[in-house]
Chains A and B, each alone.
Chain A
Amino acid sequence: MQRTAWKYYPRQQDHNTEQNREKSPACVQLQLMMSSSFNIFRVGISVVIMCIFYKSAVDSLSELSPQKYFSTLQPGKASLAYFCQADSPRTSIFLEELNEAITPLQDYGISVAKVNCVKEETSRYCGKEEDLMKAYLFRGNILLREFPTDVLFDVNAIVAHVLFALLFNEVKYITTLEDLQNIENALKGKANIAFSYVRAIGTPEHRAVMEAAFVYGTTYQFVLTTETALLESIGNEDIENAHLYFFHCKQVLDLTLQCRRTLMEQPLTTLNIHQFIKTMEAPLLTEVTEDPQQVSTVHLQLGLPLVFIVSQQATYEADRRTAEWVAWRLLGKAGVLLLLRDSLEVDIPQHSNVIFRRAEEGVPVEFLVLDDIDSLISHVESNVHIEEIQEDEDEDTKSPNMDVQDDEVAETVYRDRKRPLPLELTVELTEETFNTTVVASDSIVLFYAGWQAVSMAFLQSYIDLAIKLKGTSTMLLTRVNCADWSDLCTKQNVTEFPVVKMYKEGKNPVSYVGMLGTEDLLKFIQLSRISCPVNITSVQEAEEYLSGELYKDLISYSSVSVLGLFSPNMTTAKEDFTEAGNYLKGYAITGIYSEEDVLILSDKYAATLPALLLSRHKEGKIESIPLANSHAQDIIQIITNALLETFPEITVENLPIYLRLQKPLLILFSDGSINPQYKKAILMLVKEKHLDSLTPCWLNLKNTPVGRGILQSYFDTMPPLPLLVVVNLHSGGQVFAFPSDQAITEQNLLLWLKKLEAGLENHITILPAQEWKPPLPAYDFLSMMDAAASQHPTRKDPECTKEMDVQENDKKQHEDKSAIIKEPIETLRIKHWNRSNWFKEGEKSFRHDNKEL
């Protein structure tokens, strides 16, 4: 498609947006492109990560010689040592992971060391070759186990393996259902069991279980398996995830009965297991007679809510049975208490049978009236999930998340959705009021759709305009919401949003096609006040018109006044000019003069009739252009070109107009206003027609700070300013820089341009012909449907819809990740809010199936 022109770097923070929103929500639909910048950003992150590793490596891993190491070993203390060649590289992936493991292992009283095998002091633990190096676990100076380094692939594996070896007696590893039944039978009436399934040894879940076993190993019998068949045989099909069951065997006195089992529903993390076991330890049901607000149990400390079943003496037995039943079902999710209404001093509403107290402090208790146990359970469950939501957040940021609003217009509109707009400053029109209103008064009508972001952003600008024009304009500012008045909009030929039209009595509406911002719309409204073209009736009036006197207040909106000169009999030419004038209504000041004495003017300005006079008020110049045989379209073109400046300051807003000329840009980058010398030099070149094949312009970095980013992408470092470059956008994409050691003079420039033309200059960079790519992939519903059709488990991973090769796809995903990281926090929060709710729904149904085991 089109060639890349300017590059910018991704924003690091979001603080700009709010500000901009306040300033001017001039909303444009500018096509942008971001992928190449992402690469840079990603590199930045990995550098940071490397630094962290390097730093910790220096700080904490003790490096010892074998002799020294063995002398430090204390009886009964465990120690993990990695033996390596002294001359081996100082860093490796394994060492990085080992470093990570130092602190967690120290928490369990296990020291970690790196032992350098120097030649003089050989040890039998020192391998011969680099790849035979191993880590060894000692208790005192007794070797417990040796680990090949590839078993200890990451910090989780290191901690898990070490604890697994040390807790050999406390954690029973089993492979069959029979093993499990034997253990169960042996412990009935004696102790409870914590049985867990992990997919593999060394996984984060395995580590979590081992860490729990380190703490609780003496209280409960820990049993571990990696056998999927065993998990399935106790009725759990979800072999993809790790699971932990608590077997309530201690209270089973009848050996023929099975131990009750409670499945831990949270993911297996050390903290979750700790919390789960704590709740298993807590009494199943507590009877209380105090104010529910004052009661405290271990559940509250663990962030779990309390459920009070309200009972009274008369129904005590039945209530207690109910409460026990509820307690079993809520085990691990909430604390259940039986509250005796009769002996309570606090008032409880008459009909409420359940009191729900959240773990958060200061939240008042809820008095509920529930019909059955199921509704009680679901009430509790729907409130418990708030906890888990926060845990999900980490994971979310890792995968490319397509729910992130990356359209800044949509994002700000969404964020401001609750801020009321002072809509009363504009008149809302309906199907009934529209026709009468636009006939009765000159009106600007904004056609918009309430659901469309750009519309709503522009509505804000429109209101700003209404504030600005309040009491000064005869123009009525009105709006039509096409989401409500669809037929009206269709009748007015509005098929896209937003659209602004001006209705002046008895005339066809004029569509506004400028920028969607307050300033530009204001200009349009002001310039539309006069007819286009204005009929000039005398030579004197024509002179006033040309000098800018006639429409003084409009000169600030258009620096050029156009006057068509015709003999009274040039009917066709006049019609063409009038048509062109009508077309440019709101964008240009045009006038027409065709009185008998028109020759006075044509003689004075050396024009051959029919002709155009262009009065450039800024420069105080009047030029003439012959119009012979020019059709309306040609005249429009002539005037449009005339409105362009010869050496404009380029801004984000006007860039596209100049790009439309399809010529290479000669840009002078300037920090602040332009040096008049340079300006003079370039204007001279323009005058001498040396720059006809270029679009000369300049960019003020103070007004358009983004220019810095552009320069940085042209040069690797920020070059000294001012700087002149030629950017060949439309063919080739080469960027040439005027040598910074030369003065910007007419002669030097001319010489340089000649060399450029002759192909003697080397370009400093070529802008890649990048296209405008989708910022993120879409859901691949087709694959999901295929997967479902072939009865495989549905794949919900976001995938790119496009068929592309794997490599490209991979690259894309990477880029996406970095894109996510730089997203403003606010949008992330919106996304999480949505996500979490969805998770909640999804999990609820999942839970129902796995309830009783």
Chain B
Amino acid sequence: MRLAAAARLWGPPGLLLTFALHPALCLRPARTAAPPHRDYCVLGAGPAGLQMAYFLQRAGRDYAVFERAPRPGSFFARYPRHRRLISINKRHTGKANAEFNLRHDWNSLLSHDPQLLFRHYSRAYFPDAGDMVRYLGDFADRLRLRVLYNTTIAHVTLDKDRQAWNGHYFILTDQTGQAHRCSVLLVATGLWVPNQVDFPGSEHVEGYESVSVDPKDFEGQNVLILGRGNSAFETAENILGVTNFIHMLSRSRVRLSWATHYVGDLRAINNGLLDTYQLKSLDGLLESDLTDLAVVKDHEGKFHITLKFFLEESNQSADAITLPQDDNDNFAMRVAYDRVIRCLGWKFDFSIFNKSLRLSSSGEFSKKYPLVKASYESKGSRGLFVLGTASHSVDYRKSAGGFIHGFRYTVRAVHRLLEHRHHHVPWPSTEHPISQLTNSIVRRVNEASGLYQMFSVLADVILLKENATAFEYLEEFPMQMLAQLETITGRKAQHGLFVINMEYGRNFSGPDKDVFFYDRSVGHTEDAWQSNFLHPVIYYYRHLPTEQEVRFRPADWALPRPTAIHHIVEDFLTDWTAPVGHILPLRRFLENCLDTDLRSFYAEAMKVGAAPLIITGLAAVTRQK
């Protein structure tokens, strides 16, 4: 707690003081029996862990980050195997606005230091993973984040205690048996356990995590790749030119990110194999459930694909096993393969969490993620938050919460929630007179990066004051928690509210949709609601929706049915400042929601009666002091 007080005076002297105290704190447990306590413990010094550490440090909180590797970002030290990141590093946008530029910077973490922008670390549009490791290292060092390296947390349990913030402490035990007691646990361990499918012969399969990345090793080979994600295609891309052919096998059809606008789907930069497949080369894609398969190794060391079913039938020697082509002589995978490579992605490491934490997986469709609420808090234990890639169950296949350019904002949202919950710091907001309503919205929809990256997950909220003469503006609130807004933010929503979200058109995109259809863009303001590309949508509610209303909202709706809704028509330049096309319809919408007039007038015009007017009471000719 002393720490918190010291760091509150933020600035260089405060910083020094903090670090002077820090070693003293660490020494304390050695002298006493109780495990050292920290208000906040962050697991993992990857991008999400460092991002949270940054916010905790800025707020002067008592925290520590536990990292098993000697440096931050150990995942990136190994992955992607072929070292090319597929997150774009757009160094030029033609704009000076730093907030806007973050819309096109997918690698930087949020900080106040303009030197800590990723564009200073790489010139490549698709940068090298090594640069990311270097960047994360610098981020931790320059900001002096408190990271305990070489500390592997092997076990996490709960210790019930009424005094604790959440009714219990989290006890973290490291590799040396040292325990750490934490009030709040922030899990940012990412997904790092490779997914494996168990089928007969799976021992013959090489994993993405260890397969050779040297194309020479694949010269003249027949290769079968299991999986259809970016790692599978990245692997294929690397060896496309040296193999005889590559077959790619997975349960589901390929999902192209430009059709789904989900960056986790197959990116065009990796899709060389699709190109050659469709241009009648020998490479190809197949769909089948991997769990039905079996791989048989013949006497020459080549691999044959058969069905698990055939193996169960009889227990024969390898060369005599029934193969599908015995019955069905044009079976697609009847050739023998030299290599079978598994590229099936990763999952969350549930193993270190004690059962008492009730940290479970997110269900059938996102098994690899732990189950969390829309506030990123575990459903099983209060005070346990999941950050970063592991928190992606909230917006899996929808938004960018599984990636740096998305979770840097959700981490900030979690931090704001914690600030209010434990330190009585309400969610940051700015208050404005109602005459600034249109301006506030236009400003944010044109520059806000959090809204843009975390579209339909984080939304801005405008809380109206009594009689709608003023309003409070809250940024980047997790919109699925709208019903709990008052408890989460500490702000009052008694007089109506607006929610500003960014959305794609409802029926625009999807795995099998043609997103380049003719006349796909909408230009007319009257048709704005049919906009297909990402565009701002403003919801107006007279009352804060209830939890029920949020949960049972109509299908396809991001939020419950509002009192009124406005779409700002999509814009090719994502520049929503056209006076007649964008701002005017927005003003009309706001005016009609509030039943008021939001126009501006010239005093000169009024003097001669050029404008029809009635001046009401305390008209704001001069803005009041």
B575 and chain A: residue at smallest CB distance: A451
**Which residues from chain A contact B607 at a C-beta distance below 8 Å?**
651-652, 703-706
**Which residues from chain A contact B593 at a C-beta distance below 8 Å?**
778, 801-802
Are B615's CB and A6's CB within 8 A?
Answer: yes
**Which residues from chain A contact B519 at a C-beta distance below 8 Å?**
841, 844-845
Are B603's CB and A653's CB within 8 A?
Answer: yes
CB proximity to B under 8 Å, residues A343-395 = none
Are A656's CB and B621's CB within 8 A?
Answer: yes
Are B566's CB and A31's CB within 8 A?
Answer: no
B525 and chain A: residue at smallest CB distance: A403
Cross-chain pair count, CB within 8 angstroms: 311
Complex CA distance for A517 and B96, rounded to whole angstroms: 29
Q: Contact mask B552-583 → A, CB, 8 Å, 1/0?
A: 00000000011111110000000001011101
Whether A267 is near chain B, meaning CB under 8 Å from some CB there, is no
Whether A485 is near chain B, meaning CB under 8 Å from some CB there, is yes
Whether A764 is near chain B, meaning CB under 8 Å from some CB there, is no
Are A652's CB and B611's CB within 8 A?
Answer: no
How many chain A residues touch B (CB < 8 A): the figure is 110
Do A513 and B623 contact each other (CB < 8 Å), given the known contacts A2-B617, A407-B587, A487-B98? yes
CB proximity to B under 8 Å, residues A458-485 = 482-485
Whether A430 is near chain B, meaning CB under 8 Å from some CB there, is yes
Say which one of B3-11, B160-168, B206-214, B430-438 lies at the interface with A: B430-438
Say which one of A294-302, A675-683, A781-789 lies at the interface with B: A781-789
Whether B279 is near chain A, meaning CB under 8 Å from some CB there, is no
Complex CA distance for A449 and B597, rounded to whole angstroms: 22
Residue among A486, A842, A845 with max Cβ neighbours from chain B (10 Å): A486
**Which residues from chain A contact B608 at a C-beta distance below 8 Å?**
16, 20, 705-706
CB distance from A45 to the nearest CB of B (A): 16
Whether A7 is near chain B, meaning CB under 8 Å from some CB there, is yes
Whether A104 is near chain B, meaning CB under 8 Å from some CB there, is no
Contact among A20, A798, A800, A831 with B604 in the assembled complex (CB-CB below 8 Å):
A20
Contact among B435, B529, B603 with A26 in the assembled complex (CB-CB below 8 Å):
B603
A837 and chain B: residue at smallest CB distance: B523
Are B597's CB and A453's CB within 8 A?
Answer: no
Whether A708 is near chain B, meaning CB under 8 Å from some CB there, is yes
Do A486 and B447 contact each other (CB < 8 Å), given the known contacts A30-B620, A781-B566? yes
**Which residues from chain A contact B443 at a C-beta distance below 8 Å?**
449, 482, 486
Whether B97 is near chain A, meaning CB under 8 Å from some CB there, is yes
Do A782 and B442 contact each other (CB < 8 Å), given the known contacts A486-B97, A659-B618? no
Are B609's CB and A705's CB within 8 A?
Answer: yes
Are A801's CB and B523's CB within 8 A?
Answer: no
Whether B252 is near chain A, meaning CB under 8 Å from some CB there, is no
**Which residues from chain A contact B580 at a C-beta distance below 8 Å?**
403, 405, 414, 830-831, 834
Are B467's CB and A1's CB within 8 A?
Answer: yes
Whether B32 is near chain A, meaning CB under 8 Å from some CB there, is no
**Which residues from chain B contact A37 at a C-beta distance below 8 Å?**
612
B538 and chain A: residue at smallest CB distance: A781
Complex CA distance for A143 and B440, rounded to whole angstroms: 73
Are B597's CB and A31's CB within 8 A?
Answer: yes
Whether A601 is near chain B, meaning CB under 8 Å from some CB there, is no
- Chain A contact residues, majority secondary structure: loop
Contact among A29, A450, A771 with B600 in the assembled complex (CB-CB below 8 Å):
A29
**Which residues from chain A contact B96 at a C-beta distance below 8 Å?**
430-431, 484-485
**Which residues from chain A contact B620 at a C-beta distance below 8 Å?**
28-31, 656
Whether B605 is near chain A, meaning CB under 8 Å from some CB there, is yes
A785 and chain B: residue at smallest CB distance: B529
CB proximity to A under 8 Å, residues B66-83 = none
Contact among B473, B528, B577, B610 with A779 in the assembled complex (CB-CB below 8 Å):
B528
Whether B439 is near chain A, meaning CB under 8 Å from some CB there, is yes
Contact among B446, B528, B595, B621 with A653 in the assembled complex (CB-CB below 8 Å):
B621
Are B602's CB and A26's CB within 8 A?
Answer: yes
Are A517's CB and B613's CB within 8 A?
Answer: no
Whether B588 is near chain A, meaning CB under 8 Å from some CB there, is yes
B99 and chain A: residue at smallest CB distance: A486
Complex CA distance for A497 and B617, rounded to whole angstroms: 23
Contact among B473, B563, B612 with A32 in the assembled complex (CB-CB below 8 Å):
B612
Complex CA distance for A784 and B99, rounded to whole angstroms: 34
Complex CA distance for A26 and B604, rounded to whole angstroms: 7
Are A796's CB and B621's CB within 8 A?
Answer: no
Whether B365 is near chain A, meaning CB under 8 Å from some CB there, is no
Are A486's CB and B100's CB within 8 A?
Answer: yes
Do A779 and B621 contact each other (CB < 8 Å), given the known contacts A2-B616, A451-B577, A484-B95? no
Are B599's CB and A776's CB within 8 A?
Answer: no
Whether A409 is near chain B, meaning CB under 8 Å from some CB there, is yes
CB distance from A625 to the nearest CB of B (A): 20
Whether A419 is near chain B, meaning CB under 8 Å from some CB there, is no
**Which residues from chain A contact B95 at a C-beta distance below 8 Å?**
484
CB distance from B184 to the nearest CB of A (A): 28
Complex CA distance for A453 and B581, rounded to whole angstroms: 14
How many chain B residues touch A (CB < 8 A): the figure is 78
Residue among B96, B446, B592 with max Cβ neighbours from chain A (10 Å): B592
Complex CA distance for A750 and B97, rounded to whole angstroms: 64
Whether A4 is near chain B, meaning CB under 8 Å from some CB there, is yes
Are A656's CB and B599's CB within 8 A?
Answer: no
**Which residues from chain A contact B613 at a C-beta distance below 8 Å?**
6-8, 30, 32-34, 706
Complex CA distance for A800 and B567, rounded to whole angstroms: 15
Do A27 and B588 contact each other (CB < 8 Å), given the known contacts A2-B616, A652-B621, A656-B618? no
A584 and chain B: residue at smallest CB distance: B625
A839 and chain B: residue at smallest CB distance: B524
**Which residues from chain A contact B611 at a C-beta distance below 8 Å?**
8, 11, 32, 408
Do A7 and B621 contact each other (CB < 8 Å), given the known contacts A775-B591, A777-B592, A779-B525? no
Q: Contact mask B227-240 → A, CB, 8 Å, 1/0?
A: 00000000000000
Whether A632 is near chain B, meaning CB under 8 Å from some CB there, is no
**Which residues from chain A contact B609 at a C-beta distance below 8 Å?**
8-9, 11, 705-706, 708-709
**Which residues from chain B contact A451 at a C-beta distance below 8 Å?**
442, 446, 577, 583
Complex CA distance for A784 and B593, rounded to whole angstroms: 17
CB distance from B361 to the nearest CB of A (A): 35
Do A801 and B564 contact each other (CB < 8 Å), given the known contacts A779-B525, A830-B580, A838-B524? yes
Do A486 and B98 contact each other (CB < 8 Å), given the known contacts A30-B603, A34-B613? yes
Are B529's CB and A781's CB within 8 A?
Answer: yes
Whether A719 is near chain B, meaning CB under 8 Å from some CB there, is no
A774 and chain B: residue at smallest CB distance: B591
Do A409 and B601 contact each other (CB < 8 Å), given the known contacts A33-B616, A781-B566, A838-B524? yes
Are B602's CB and A409's CB within 8 A?
Answer: yes
Are B602's CB and A25's CB within 8 A?
Answer: yes
CB distance from B476 to the nearest CB of A (A): 14
Are A3's CB and B97's CB within 8 A?
Answer: no
CB proximity to B under 8 Å, residues A529-555 = none
Whether A655 is near chain B, meaning CB under 8 Å from some CB there, is yes
Complex CA distance for A623 and B526, rounded to whole angstroms: 63
Are A770's CB and B614's CB within 8 A?
Answer: yes
CB distance from B465 to the nearest CB of A (A): 13
Whether B589 is near chain A, meaning CB under 8 Å from some CB there, is yes
**Which residues from chain A contact B621 at a C-beta distance below 8 Å?**
28-30, 515, 652-653, 655-657
Q: Contact mask A164-186 → B, CB, 8 Å, 1/0?
A: 00000000000000000000000
CB distance from A155 to the nearest CB of B (A): 32
A782 and chain B: residue at smallest CB distance: B565
Are A20's CB and B566's CB within 8 A?
Answer: no
Complex CA distance for A24 and B607, rounded to whole angstroms: 12
A651 and chain B: residue at smallest CB distance: B607
**Given A1-B616, A513-B622, A513-B623, 16 more pairs with CB closer than 8 A:** A27-B601, A27-B602, A31-B597, A32-B597, A32-B615, A402-B585, A449-B443, A451-B442, A513-B624, A705-B609, A709-B609, A771-B595, A778-B589, A780-B564, A838-B524, A841-B519
A and B contact pairs by CB, cutoff 8 A, 8 listed: A6-B613, A403-B580, A410-B579, A655-B615, A771-B595, A796-B526, A798-B526, A844-B519
Task: Please give me the 10 A-B residue pairs with the lowest Cβ-Cβ distance, nearest first.
Answer: A2-B617, A451-B577, A774-B591, A838-B524, A706-B609, A16-B610, A2-B616, A32-B613, A20-B604, A778-B588
